[in-house]
Amino acid sequence: MKNDKCTVLNFTERLGGKWKLPIINAIRKNETLRFGKIHQIVDGISRKVLTEQLKALEYDVLIIRRQYEEIPPRVEYSLTNKSRGLCEVFQAIDKWSRIEDK
C-alpha cells in the first residue's frame, strides 16, 4: 500500500474533486472559520455543495466542527493534524502554478 501509485490514488480518492482542497486551504489560512466566511472565500461554491463537502471532510476527520451554544448558535471549522499536514502540498501547488505552460 505504500508504493507511490497507491499513495497518489489514495490522495485523489480522499481529496480529489474541485472543492475539498480549496476549502481546507481557506480554513488553514484562518485557523478557524465560520460557514459564511468559507462560502465567501471559496470562489463559486454554492451553500448546498459547501454543506455537503464540509460534512464529508468532517466524516473523514480532515476538519473539526465545533458548535458554541450561543444565540444564535455559532459553528466554527478548524483543521485536524492530518489536514494541517497538507501545508507542503499547497506550497508545491503554488510553485507549480508559476511554471509556464507551453
Amino acid at site 15: L
How many CA atoms lie within 13 Å of 3's alpha carbon, on the beta-carbon side? 1
CB of 94 to a copy of itself, least distance (A): 5
Q: How far is CA 52 from the centre of its chain?
A: 12
Least Å distance, CB 76 to a copy of itself, is 19
- Interface residues with a copy of itself (CB under 8 A) are 2, 4-13, 16-22, 25-26, 29, 41-44, 61, 80-82, 85-86, 88-97, 99-102
36 versus 61: smaller Cβ distance to a copy of itself: 61
Give whichever of 7 and 32 is closer to a copy of itself, judged by the CB atom.
Answer: 7
Residue 69, judged by CB atoms within 10 A of its CB (0-12, 13-18, 19+), counts as: exposed
